[in-house]
Structure 1
Amino acid sequence: MRLNHADTASGTDFFRNYGPWALIAGASHGVGAAFAHQAASRGLNCILVARRQAALESLKSELQSQYNVEVLVLCQDLSTVDAAERLVDAVERRQVGLMIYNAGGDPIISQFLNTSIDNWNRLLRMNTQTVMELSYAFGSKMVERRQGGLILVGSHAALGGVRKLGMYSATKAFCLNLGESLWAEWKTHNVDVLNVLISTVDTPTIRDTMSRLGIPEARTMALPQANDIADTALQGLAKGPTLVHPDDVVGDNDSPGSQRRAHVQAKSEEAARFIGDD
């Protein structure tokens, strides 16, 4: 039996609702690695997905030694056409009760015409095709079991266009709308969906990028911590569809996340008059 949402924050209850395996796409560092630690600390075995084999193997050792969980490493470029198919095959018969899609950062940060169309196509596949196919593959099994959770890690850029982030903001908007729609469809099947919209996070990558771009105080500026974001997201997984960090952490009942929940509910009810509520 599905446990009450109020009881799903940690421990055995979390494992029952979202175990036994968590798949974390984009797990090699930063927010993805933090999600892996947080999931493992709650007893979930972890499937770590990224391109950097050495980083994944190091994280695997940490998780196994600290939390005594099973860990599967899958070295995979999520921007390839067959990425989702290969991951599903590699997971085999393991029951994924929690899927966290943290991949999809913009490595280019360029005006639209200042890089190749091939680069944009890779970003497009990673943030649309792959996330859609993985959500379908693992989400269908969660709905069938009436148990599970999906977290799509996005960005404030999803809420509107941003100069030099055109394709990034567009693809993150795809993830946001997909996640909110799945929340509306799956919540009656006891499958939780949460979009986590974050701004800048303290990772080596963003520090290096800021330094490369000549941003003042690139190495000393106070930034949100990845572990805090991951913990907040898992604590709020059952409170979808969207968590806007850090606004919703310090907000009240009129926080951005509450407003988006009300919007999705109202629009779904309005649309049902014309497209049905099945």
Structure 2
Amino acid sequence: MPRERAWFAILLSVTALALANAHFPRIGLAPLYIPIVCAACWALGGRAGYLVAIVAAVLAVVPHLAELPGLSPALLGARMAVRAVTYGFVAAIVLSFRRSFDREHHLAARDRMTDALNKETFRERLIHRLDLAVPARQSFLLAILDLDDFKGINNRHGHVAGDEVLRAFAQGARKTIRREDDFGRIGGDEFAFLLPVHSAEEGVYFARLLHKRLSSVLAGTPHPVTCSMGALLISPDTPRDEPSLMHAVDQLMYAVKRAGKNAVEIGRAMTDRDRGTPVPSRPRVPIEACL
């Protein structure tokens, strides 16, 4: 549920319960604030959860104000304090569960070594974002990158050195891309990127810029290597067939490998009007041209 809708639902629930509790004070509806506090903590986070807990504690004792002056202010304060401690304790427990849930969810979606999205999560993100992009007429750049001669690092320096390169590359890649871009590890030394773009021209520019920056990142690792990248421009009219698109961009990357590595090749995914499968829309772009 979006945050705005969650706030509306919680405020509506608190208001309705406060009115019911005021009209029927002898029924004892105050414990029903606990599920609302739980929902606020789970959906809105710590600050909002504790705020709702305090407000609920105050509203829970408001019906007892009618008992004044027969009810001493000290007793009324004690009741409010008990409510506040109880609701606060419930909020703390729920927030602890929420943090554990978020941590496990994050770890389940990530590659443990590089903290990039794992292969399955990247695939799910690709399918989801492509489906949402249809009504918005959104274009994308889908790229697959492979480190050149990475096995040589493992053979010469050991797997510890190779892992160090992968972690350094992933850290640099996350700093290179934008917040709205997706970055995942789909193989041993293969990584994938999904970037929303406004046009084919912007996609070509991003593809070249991405390869240039990632090449710089790799050049700065303890064991410098180059990279080969295939990039596929996905227009709004392209069929959203995830396996075909991944296969097409993979073939673009392997075309770079066969042609000498250390370059980027940019292709265009054909639309229904093209009556074909995704193919390159331009010749191979050598690394010098990307600079």
TM-score normalised over the length of structure 1 = 0.30
* Bigger Cα Rg: 2
TM-score by length of 2: 0.29
Q: Determine which structure has the larger helix proportion and give its number.
A: 2
